[in-house]
Each structure stands twice: as structure tokens, then as C-alpha cells.
Amino acid sequence: MMDITQLVCLSNFFSSYRAAPESFFAFVQEPIRQGCGIDPGWLPTAKKPSALLPGFNLQKFRTLAGWSTMHATHFWMQTWHTAPASAVDYLFAYVPQGTLILSYDMPPWLAQACEQRGFDWLDMRPSPLAFGRDLYVALHASNAVLQQHLVRWSVSDEELRLEAALLAANLHAHRLDIEEGFHYKFNLDGCLVFVGQHPEDAALLSPDGHSLRCTDFSEQLRELAKGKTMLHLLDRRNLGRAALAPHISDLWTHVKRECETLKKIVNAPVQICQQNIYQILSSDDDVQLVGISAPALQEAAWFDKPAHELFRPRTPLATMHASPDAGERKYVQVHFTDVLKPAFWHAVLTPDAPYPKLPALPELERNQARTGLNNWGDYEKVMTWERPLHTASFERSGGGLLRKRIEKLEQSQNSVATASSMDDAAMQAKIRTLKDTKKGLTAYVLGNGPSLNELNAVALLKEESFWCNQAYELERQNISFTPKYYFVGSPTGFQEFGHQMMAVKAEKKFFRDEVYRLAQARFPQSFPDQNVIKYGGPPRPLMFEEGEHFSADPSLFVNAGATILVEAIQFAFYMGYERVYVGGVDLDYSSTPYFFGGQSLDYVPRDAWSENMRQSFIVAKHYFEKHGRILAKITKSPNLPLNYVKIQEMWAKP
């Protein structure tokens, strides 16, 4: 028997993404406390105290490992299997002896470190089987006694079969209904669906650190595809929404490239599959799945669908369909609602302790895990696509009236431009008054990097200078921040710092359209008195994607470049400036990223974003050179790909 008296929550601290592990532990912390009488603390990434010994510093741990925000994505992938010893030793110096480690999605390096030092551990993660009425949690304990305790709570194979059959029947009825109603029809007979994954999915990492791609399995794919039509379906699990959100366009670019690669491998066209994973698994069609290690491949067997797994599952399960070569570490599945019960944690961790006063909350709602963790996957399409209840609910809650009013507006013969379109036309006219008004002059575009401190901001504010975002922090240096031109492009930045941004006294302000709308709504009294110019443009492609893009007319649109500075540069070109000098743009987020201090957000993939910025500046430089103008930098900023121009003494900081 185990005598558990201390718990510590740990996860992969080399990953920038906090939402999934912190959210999960937030759900189970109180049930553990009530069920076991032990406070497990919080993850060291959270603001609340962890159960590590006093003095642990997460930043020092990362520094010892060589981690930086600039290269966070690549670093966690490189260290997934093996972490730097100095950092691991530092971490475990703060783990109390006799502690049971609770982990979320435990990386191999952490499991190895626990085993080498004699610490038992319990790992938790979402199960790859997500077809049930709610999510399951997959758990594995290094200690055999704990593992046996978990087995008693495990979901049976019979239940999994029933859940799969229930969903299959649901979707079979749904398919017949929409086919007979002439809404939609599909046929996947003779298809081989390649189930792709996010390129940063840890399930793709081999022990040598290589991230597997379809080209690593060309022969197998070529053989399996003979006589079949290959389709591509993306399984976006194993990564949370925070990881996906900044890269949705990049992700679809990856999908297109993977389709092209598969086309070369099988020597036949590969289209994107229009059906979701559960439509495929529930269908009667003669269709097979293939992939490297996507969770959908583990689900297929429960629907009696053939699936070919080219590598190995990230979360091997202790079920009737378990892979025989998955090793000894097989995960037990339990209901998410069970891990919310104090009685569960009492039975698993401290069965000899006093029984909890409240074993569990009363009945919880269906989809508790999906709703609470915001983890729906393709099940969301099961719930909503072509379902009459949602349409009827919309109609009866005011949607019907709204639809009629819209129809009436559309049918009106005397409709004129809406207030919004009139405003857009006025803004376009306002921007066009700027064209070539500064022909032959010099402009300065200033970022907020540390190198801005090398410049004489007071002198530059008197010149033709463009500033942005939190440049108002110059006020802390007793500098009156009254810029000629001031740009704000981030809605989230404006939501946090809107009061300071609206307080800036600039000759002209330039707000991206979404920021403009936010400012109108939040500051209805003061906004009309500010000279704000609204501009917009598509978020994609970025300036360097699919060719080079530089807007010759910002009154129509401005090309995005992962930084508002290149948007200001497009305006500067339009206004006719002969020379545009850039300062305070360092593209280095490894330490203090701003002239006024501060830290980068951990979850922002700065390495990828900085590269996007760098490529965008290259495009802008090419456009200036093509038209015989100069775009250069006046701070050395080695990561910024512009020629350095030594500035006059008057621009240097006194």
C-alpha cells in the first residue's frame, strides 16, 4: 500500500501553452482536496502557489534549460523526450521527498526524471476516444497499486461499444434524413482518408527528436492507396485552441502542402475531405483511414472501420483494441465526471483516509467536459450541423423576426448606403487626401523595442515620425508623448490599454477597422473629437505569403505583416516620403522585449511571429528599392533585415 501525504502538480514547462493543463487542474484541485485532505497546489505557471518547496523560480528553470520565448515552439519539441539535466536537477531540488507527482500530458523527459529519482507519478490527459456523450480522461500511474485503483473506475469495453453504436445510429439516421430531403449527399466508397495532424503535435515526435511527416512513410502510403481515392482530413486534437488560434491560416497552408506531398507520393490528386471524422466512422461506405498517429485512428476500431496507424498512438489505451506493441504503459479511461468526485480521488489516492463528507456533486450536465474545457473537436459538428432544433431555436428566440426585417431591407427599392458604408467612403476620401503630401521628405517609424532607448525620443517626436501601441510609456521618462502619427492595430491590445491609447494627443491617429469599432463603442463621448483614420485589409495572406504584397493604396486596403509597423510603412510610402528610417524594432523577445520593460506572453509563439515580421520587412524594403526610395534602420537591431544607417547626433539619446 502507498502512504500518500504530499502531491505536486507538474506539466511540460517548456511549452508556452497554459490553457489546457491549468484548466484541467483547476477542475480537479478541489475534488482532490476534499477527497484526500491534501492540497495539491497549482502548476508553477499559474499565479497561485504551487506545492513545490519555497524558492522555485520558473524563469530560472527555463533559463537553465536554454529556453526563450523566441524559440519556445521549437524548444519544447526538441526537449520532448530529453530535457537538459541542469534544469531537471533544479526542478527536483524543490520537489518534497515522498511526493506523488500529478501531471497533465506528461512528457517523456518528466517521466524519466521521476523514475530516476524514485518519485511515483500519475499522468492525466484527454482520451483519444472522444465519441461518447462526454469526454473521457485517460490516466496512467507509475505505481502498480495506484494503477489497480484506477482500473476499478475504468470505462468498460462494452460501454465504449455502446457509445460508438449510439453515435453511429444517430448519424446514420441523420444522413438518411438529409439525403432524402435533398439537402446533402456523399459517397466515400473506395476512399482512403489520410488523417493529418497539426505539425506541432507531440504525437509526431520520434525518440530522436525528428518530427514525422507523411514522406517518412511513402512506401506504405503508396501501397495502401493502390486502387483507392485518397482524401485528406485534419484531426486537430492534441493541441488546444490557444495553440491553434494564431495559426489557423498557417494550419490550412500546412494542409494544402501535405495534400501536395501526398499527391506526389501516390501519384494521384488528393482532395480535402468534406466530411467530419464521425460522419466517416459512422458511414456504411467502404472507406479506410490511414495516418501517422492521429487520435481518430484509435477511434476507428470501435466503429469497425479499418485504420492503418503508421507510427504509434500518443496515448495507448488499455482496451480490447489496444496495440500489442504499445508497451506496458497503457492508459485507463474514466468518465470526466468521475474525476470531479472527491470519492474518486479518495478511492484512488487515499483509500484508508476518512471518507469525504460529500462524495460527489449532484448530476452534472451532458458534455460537462466539452463545455468546461472548450474541447469539442468534430463532435460540435455532430451536435449542430443540419440539426433542426438549432434552426428552430434561433427562429423562436428572435431570429425569425430578424430574418424578416433583413428581407424587408433587402427588398426595399429605395435603399441607400448604410451608415457603415458611408463611413467607409468618407474614410477612403480622408486617406486619399494624404497621397504624396510628403513627397521628398524623411519619415521615422518607431517601434517599442529596447533599442528605442538609444534614440532621442524628444527630438524624434518633433519630426515626421510614426509611433504605435504602447509608445505612450515614454511618459514614464517625463517625455510629453504628442506624436504626429499614432497607429493601433490590435483589438486585444486596445481592450487592455484603450484608456491610455485614447488619451494620446496625436496630430493623426490610425486605427485598424476592428480597433476603430471598439473605440467608437467604448468611448462614445470622446471618440468623435479625435482625428482617427480607419483603415483595414485582409489578415491573410501576409505580405510575403504567395508572392510579395505591398499596398500602393491604403485607402483600399493595407497588407498585414505580423506587426503594425509595416502597416505604418505602407502609409508612409503612400504619403510620398523619400526616406523612411526605422528604429526601436529588434525582433528579439528572448529577454525584455520593450523599451519600458515587461515580458512576452508565454503562449505567443514569438519565434514564428518574429520570422513573419522579418519576412514582411524584406518585402517592404524590396518595394521601396523598386521605386527608388530608401527603407533603412537607425538602430543596429541585428534581427531586423534592413540596412543600417548611422544617424545624426541629434537623433542619438543625449
The tens digit of pLDDT for each residue in 322-354 reads 655 545 579 999 999 999 999 999 999 999 999
Q: What is the pTM of this model?
A: 0.74
Cell numbers representing residue 622 in the block: 524590396
pLDDT in tens, 571-599: 999 999 999 999 999 998 777 778 887 76
- Of the candidates 31, 48, 36, 40, the one whose C-alpha atom is nearest the C-alpha of residue 10 is 40
Half-sphere exposure of 57 (CA within 13 A, CB side): 6
Q: What number of residues does the chain have? A: 654
Quickly list DSSP for 125-183.
EE-S---SSS-EEEEEESSHHHHHHHHTTPPPHHHHHHHHHHHHHHHHHHHHHHHHTTS
Q: Indicate the SS3 state at residue 284.
A: coil
Label the pairing between strands 465-468 and 485-488: parallel
Residue with cell 508556452: 16
Angle, helix 19-36 to helix 342-349, in steps of 10 degrees: 80
What whole-number distance in Å separates Cα of residue 503 and Cα of residue 526? 9
CA dihedral 34, 39, 42, 43 (to 10 degrees): -110
What whole-number distance in Å separates Cα of residue 237 and Cα of residue 227? 30
Burial category of 23 from C-beta neighbours within 10 Å (exposed 0-12, middle 13-18, buried 19 and up): middle
Residues 318-341: b if buried by 16+ CB within 10 A, e if exposed: bbeeeeeeeeeebbbbbbbbbbbb
For range 565-575, the mean pLDDT = 97
Cell numbers representing residue 87 in the block: 534544469
What whole-number distance in Å separates Cα of residue 55 and Cα of residue 368? 37
What whole-number distance in Å separates Cα of residue 374 and Cα of residue 348? 27
- Of the candidates 118, 107, 147, 136, the one whose C-alpha atom is nearest the C-alpha of residue 328 is 147
∠ CA 224-227-232, rounded to 5°: 60
Burial category of 637 from C-beta neighbours within 10 Å (exposed 0-12, middle 13-18, buried 19 and up): buried
Angle, helix 342-349 to helix 144-151, in steps of 10 degrees: 140
Long-range residue pairs from 641-649, CB within 8 A, at least 24 positions apart, any chain: 641/614, 641/617, 642/582, 642/617, 645/581, 647/455, 647/581
Label the pairing between strands 136-141 and 332-335: antiparallel
Please report the pLDDT score of residue 326 as a whole number.
46
Chain mean position to CA 368: 22
Please report the pLDDT score of residue 319 as a whole number.
80
From residue 59, alpha-carbon distances to 11, 13, 66, 588 in Å are 15, 10, 10, 17
CA dihedral 281, 287, 293, 297 (to 10 degrees): 30
What whole-number distance in Å separates Cα of residue 44 and Cα of residue 593? 23
State the pLDDT confidence band at 415, using cuts at 50, 70 and 90: very low
Q: Which residues are 272's β-sheet partners?
A: 232
Q: Indicate the SS3 state at residue 296.
A: helix
Please report the pLDDT score of residue 525 as a whole number.
87
For range 84-90, the mean pLDDT = 96
pLDDT in tens, 150-199: 999 999 999 999 999 999 999 999 999 888 877 788 899 999 999 999 98
What whole-number distance in Å separates Cα of residue 309 and Cα of residue 197? 13
> Percent of the chain having pLDDT more than 70?
91
584 in the Ramachandran plot: left (φ > 0), alpha (ψ -120 to 50) or beta?
Answer: left
First to last CA, the chain: 71
- Is the pLDDT score of 401 beyond 90? no
Burial category of 186 from C-beta neighbours within 10 Å (exposed 0-12, middle 13-18, buried 19 and up): middle
pLDDT in tens, 5-54: 999 999 998 887 888 999 999 999 999 999 999 999 999 999 899 999 99
What whole-number distance in Å separates Cα of residue 604 and Cα of residue 111? 26
